[in-house]
């Protein structure tokens, strides 16, 4: 697989997710809801690496994408002012997308996965609340929290469908990407539930630990194609101008 085919695969998946969650009113009022390409990449990592991928798997993958879309829209709501029309539409859109994931999952005979995803969603919401309510967290607690929030649904998908060996890499890389964006003050991660809760020194420590961890995981991942290893390197470190 080359980068052109990989990008086409990711974009096709994102279009499928966007089509599944499209709602005319919110689309008209708020425009296109951006989908995180890094999350799409790691969700599809087994497929990109040549693993067997069925229609049922793809349906579940689209449902996971709908969950992340719901989370991302809720995270964009300004906690200090949720009274505007746009903010209210974002909240309603997030609720709408949350419902879609259950409808999509209901179309396949996989009650076990539906139950597992429901538990993960609850755990992610609880983790966000804990980050918001607690004081300044240590780098270790921050890493644990962001691994849950950024990759919980994706790694549950991997573990549920026999792709467990991809879970650790996805968990580490997505947390690293988030912290890198946070350090660079990327608007995509400057949301209310994490504001003023993270010291720059703790973020830098988390990045250092996660970078070393990802390097070790990729060194041991003999099952992963060299091209995809390079892509993970490229995605996980460019914001800081560093290499693993």
Contacts for 27-34 with beta carbons within 8 Å, 24 or more apart? 29/85, 29/86, 29/89, 30/86, 30/89, 30/90, 30/93, 33/69, 33/72, 33/73, 33/93, 34/72, 34/188
C-alpha pair distances (Å), 45 with each of 39, 64, 106: 10, 14, 24
Residue among 67, 200, 186 nearest 142 (CA)? 200
> Given the structure tokens 């961890």, which residue do they identify?
213
pLDDT at position 244 is: 45
Domain that holds residue 212: 3-240
Secondary structure (3-state) at 137:
coil
Residue 80 pLDDT > 50: no
pLDDT at position 147 is: 96
Return the structure tokens found at 49.
């690496």
- Alpha-carbon gap, residue 151 to 191, rounded angstroms: 18
C-alpha pair distances (Å), 213 with each of 107, 125, 139, 168, 208: 38, 26, 14, 10, 9
Residue 9 pLDDT > 90: yes
pLDDT, tens only, 22-79? 665 555 555 556 678 999 999 999 999 999 999 889 988 988 888 887 777 666 654 4
Secondary structure (3-state) at 216:
helix
| CATH number for 97 | 1.10.600.10
pLDDT at position 24 is: 55
pLDDT, tens only, 126-164? 898 888 777 678 889 999 999 999 999 999 999 999 999
Residues 6+ apart with CB under 8 A from 153: 64, 67, 68, 117, 120, 121, 124
pLDDT, tens only, 170-222? 999 999 999 998 888 776 676 655 655 678 898 999 999 999 999 999 999 99
- Alpha-carbon gap, residue 54 to 71, rounded angstroms: 26
> Would you say the C-alpha torsion 223, 229, 232, 237 has a positive or negative sign?
positive
pLDDT-derived band at 99 (thresholds 50, 70, 90) equals low
pTM recorded for the entire structure: 0.85
Please give the tally of structural domains in the chain.
1
Return the structure tokens found at 116.
């597992």
pLDDT at position 232 is: 95
Residues 6+ apart with CB under 8 A from 17: 35, 40, 62, 65, 66, 69
Residue among 5, 24, 100 nearest 62 (CA)? 100
pLDDT at position 93 is: 54
């Amino acid at each position: 697989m080359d980068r052109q085919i990989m990008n086409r695969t990711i974009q096709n998946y994102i279009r499928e997710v966007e089509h599944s969650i499209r709602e005319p009113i919110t689309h008209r009022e708020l425009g296109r809801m951006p989908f995180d390409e890094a999350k799409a990449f790691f969700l599809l990592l087994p497929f990109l690496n040549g693993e067997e991928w069925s229609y049922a798997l793809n349906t579940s993958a689209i449902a996971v994408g709908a969950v992340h879309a719901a989370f991302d829209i809720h995270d964009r709501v300004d906690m200090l002012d949720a009274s505007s029309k746009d903010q209210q539409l974002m909240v309603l859109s997030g609720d709408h997308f949350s419902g879609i994931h259950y409808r999509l999952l209901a179309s396949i005979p996989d009650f076990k996965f539906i139950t597992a995803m429901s538990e993960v969603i609850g755990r992610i919401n609880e983790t966000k609340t804990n980050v918001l309510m607690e004081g300044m967290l240590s780098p270790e607690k921050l890493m644990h929290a962001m691994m849950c929030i950024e990759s919980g649904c994706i790694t549950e998908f991997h573990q549920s469908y026999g792709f467990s060996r991809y879970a650790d890499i996805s968990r580490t890389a997505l947390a690293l990407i988030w912290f890198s964006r946070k350090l660079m003050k990327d608007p995509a991660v400057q949301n209310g539930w994490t504001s003023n809760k993270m010291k720059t020194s703790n973020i830098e420590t988390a990045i250092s630990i996660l970078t070393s961890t990802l390097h070790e995981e990729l060194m041991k991942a003999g099952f992963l194609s060299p091209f995809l290893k390079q892509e993970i390197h490229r995605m996980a470190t460019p914001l800081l101008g560093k290499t693993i």
